[in-house]
Amino acid sequence: MDPVTLTGRIVAVRQFCGGDATDSFANVGDDQFTRWRSFDSRNLVIARAMLDGASAIRQPDGRDR
């Protein structure tokens, strides 16, 4: 089965990957964004580690093959 992607008029939801670190950092590195989150702003290295960690614990379901 191919990875699932949901696309709307202004947003697309898909499975993330390690290459998304720069885009993720745009949010988690922004004090205005993280002010309302349960964590403080992060740097690019930590943003990449967050994505890598989440990818490592993701349950295999056949979509990545």
Q: Is residue 4 part of a domain?
A: no
Angle at 35 between CA 54 and CA 25, to 5 degrees: 40
The yes-or-no verdict on residue 19 having pLDDT over 60 is yes
pTM confidence score: 0.61
Residue 24, domain extent = 17-57
Q: Is residue 38 part of a domain?
A: yes
Q: Is residue 51 part of a domain?
A: yes
Q: Is residue 27 part of a domain?
A: yes
Structurally, the chain folds into a number of domains equal to: 1
Q: Which residue has the higher pLDDT, 60 or 33?
A: 33
What tokens does 49 get? 């580690």
Q: Is residue 46 part of a domain?
A: yes
Q: Is residue 39 part of a domain?
A: yes
| Confidence (pLDDT) at 13 | 84
